């Protein structure tokens, strides 16, 4: 008799993700103790030896709730019990920049990056599901984001891999329980103070009630389609930036003006970041201001950008650089 069907599907998803890794490589799983990451950890522990891989686990203690250190210790015990080696916890200090959710995410991935580097891991598995993807798309819509944001989370990004993006949260939870694992349900996931929690508890169910079942799957499919489009536009933008570039951080306006808006916006964003703008602070309003220097220039002064950078137009070229050195030229 085989495993529960939900367990089999989770294992199959993990097995497919491990198939391209070199034998003997170390794969880590990021485990919060929730149902999704516990099921993922158990599937990794089952599949890695069969693929000739080593498997370990790490949990991040954000220190945001009473008893978090003790809970992290229990999660580590569970990881050891599954046969994951190495297994451990990392305590982080969560700042306030960008709000609590963004700050916690930044601290978590910084800790995972450091841990993966210390152990020489070839990949880090994270337990995001199709439901997480749908929530991410809705959050991007609410922010008025472009295709890159609406494309949601990639199945792979650097070291990080998300084998469960094709599976629903309910099915993954069934797999977790079928493997006799006891998940920890983070109260933050149902706390209405957090935007994602409100989307999860109220918005998505309301959409399902109004539009019928399948909304989550449709949003996830939309993310997949938009990601393919965004990747193609990004590749075009890389080529276009090289064609438009002059000396240093200068660009030929005539070349930029001839690009489709979707490509030109990507070129301008890339150019601003390369000139010194912090990527996380560069907003659509900044890109629009740069675009006006290209397509609607009437002798206006330069556009102020984050990080003390200014973009200005002079003699048919778009210049980007430190505001002090730019002299607010035209």
For position 284, which CATH number holds? 3.30.465.60
Is 87 within 8 Å of 60 (Cβ atoms)? no
What's the confidence (pLDDT) of residue 324?
65
The pLDDT score that the predictor gives to residue 328 is 46
- Residue 267 shares a structural domain with residue 202: no
Query: Over the chain (330 residues), what is each successive 10-residue block's mean pLDDT?
Result: 92 97 97 96 98 97 85 96 96 76 86 96 98 92 75 92 97 97 84 86 92 92 91 96 96 97 96 91 91 94 94 96 63
**Which structure tokens are listed for 135?**
């929530």
Same domain, 249 and 211: no
Identify whether 230 is part of a domain: no
Alpha carbon distance 3, 60 (integer Å): 30
Contact 319, 249 (CB under 8 A): yes
pLDDT of residue 98: 64
CA angle 282, 283, 285 (to 5 degrees): 125
CATH of the domain at 129: 3.40.50.620
**Residue 118 covered by a domain:** yes
Whether residue 141 sits in one domain with residue 16: yes
When divided into structural domains, the chain yields a total of: 2
201 and 251 housed in the same domain: no
Same domain, 164 and 109: yes
Q: Is residue 30 part of a domain?
A: yes
Whether residues 147 and 287 share a domain: the answer is no
Domain that holds residue 138: 5-218
Single residue among 218, 236, 253 that ends a domain in this structure: 218
Does 194 lie in the same domain as 124? yes
Q: Could you tell me if 251 and 291 lie in one domain?
A: yes
Inside any domain, residue 236: no
Domain end call among 200, 218, 236: 218
Q: What is the pLDDT of residue 326?
A: 55
- Both 119 and 22 in one domain: the answer is yes
**226 in a domain, yes or no?**
no
Residue 20: count of CB within 10 angstroms of its CB: 8
Q: Does 67 reside within a domain?
A: yes
What pTM, to 2 d.p., does this model score? 0.82
């Amino acid at each position: 008799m085989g495993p529960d069907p939900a367990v089999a599907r989770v294992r199959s998803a993990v097995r497919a993700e491990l198939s391209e890794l070199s034998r003997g490589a170390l794969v880590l799983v990021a485990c919060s103790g929730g149902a999704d990451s516990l099921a993922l950890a158990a599937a990794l522990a089952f599949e890695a030896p069969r693929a000739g891989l080593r498997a370990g686990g790490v949990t991040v203690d954000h220190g945001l709730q009473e008893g978090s250190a003790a809970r992290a210790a229990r999660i580590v015990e569970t990881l050891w019990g599954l046969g994951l080696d190495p297994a451990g916890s990392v305590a982080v200090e969560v700042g306030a920049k960008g709000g609590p959710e963004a700050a916690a995410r930044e601290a978590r991935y910084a800790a995972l990056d450091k841990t993966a580097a210390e152990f020489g891991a070839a990949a880090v598995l994270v337990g995001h599901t199709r439901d997480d993807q749908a929530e991410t798309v809705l959050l991007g819509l609410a922010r008025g984001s472009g295709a890159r944001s609406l494309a949601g989370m990639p199945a792979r990004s650097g070291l990080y891999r998300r084998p469960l993006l094709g599976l629903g949260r309910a099915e993954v939870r069934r797999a977790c329980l079928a493997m006799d694992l006891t998940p920890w349900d983070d109260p933050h996931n149902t706390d209405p103070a957090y935007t994602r929690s409100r989307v999860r508890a109220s918005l998505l169910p309301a959409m399902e009630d109004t539009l019928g079942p399948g909304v989550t799957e449709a949003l996830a499919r939309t993310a997949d389609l938009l990601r393919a489009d965004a990747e193609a536009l990004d590749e075009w933008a890389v080529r276009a930036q090289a064609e438009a570039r002059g000396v240093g951080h200068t660009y030929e306006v005539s070349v930029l003006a001839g690009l489709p808006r979707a490509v030109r916006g990507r070129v301008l964003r890339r150019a601003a970041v390369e000139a010194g703008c912090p990527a996380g602070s560069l907003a659509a309003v900044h890109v629009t201001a740069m675009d006006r220097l290209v397509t609607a220039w009437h002798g206006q002064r330069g556009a102020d950008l984050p990080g003390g950078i200014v973009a200005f137009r002079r003699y048919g070229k778009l210049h980007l650089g430190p505001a002090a050195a730019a002299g607010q030229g035209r």
